[in-house]
Amino acid sequence: MELDEELIEHMRDPKNYGEIENPDAIGIGVNPENGEKVVIYLKVKEDNEGKIIEDIKFQAIACMTTVVAGSVMTKEAKGISFEKAEELIAVTLGMLEGVPPEQAACTEMVALALEAAMDTYQKKKEDPSIPALIYKISNSCIAEPEANNNMSEGASQPSKSL
């Protein structure tokens, strides 16, 4: 299957979308600028190999790009160890370097939700009353306006504040 076809399939039929009843951990990734969020639910199995993501589901109040990213990432994370999942998160976030922030924000939100869920699981071992951890994205999904080089004299340019 070609990459574009695979992404379209994730868009048409997102994998692992939904909620796990009685999850072992929940993690949330949020975009504080617009209120979008991703929730990841984990069922974890511990054995000689460490902590394994036995089941994973996600829900999103976000754009379709976020849903596709959630579908792809949860498909990759299902059945792997926390150690491998940490590598998946690091590789995913590394791939976003150099990508325009408004394009990176959706995928970053999913990666951070997975990281928050795994961290919640770890912290629940020390204190079972710990609620779901919430991690905020660093990228902005709001595109900067492009300067119009053909503006007539006297027209005002959009201002940027630092």
| Residue 151 confidence (pLDDT) | 39
Give percent of the chain with pLDDT exceeding 70: 86
Report domain extents, the chain.
Answer: 3-136
Region 3-136: CATH code: 3.90.1010.10
When pLDDT is cut at 50, 70 and 90, the band that residue 111 belongs to is: very high
HEC profile for the chain?
Answer: CCHHHHHHHHHHCCCCECCCCCCCEEEEEECCCCCCEEEEEEEEEEECCEEEEEEEEEEEECCHHHHHHHHHHHHHHCCCEHHHHHHHHHHHHHHCCCCCHHHHHHHHHHHHHHHHHHHHHHHHHHCCCCCCEEEECCCCCCCCCCCCCCCCCCCCCCCCCC
Question: Could you tell me which residue, 63 or 124, shows the higher pLDDT?
Answer: 124
When pLDDT is cut at 50, 70 and 90, the band that residue 1 belongs to is: low
pTM attached to this predicted model: 0.83
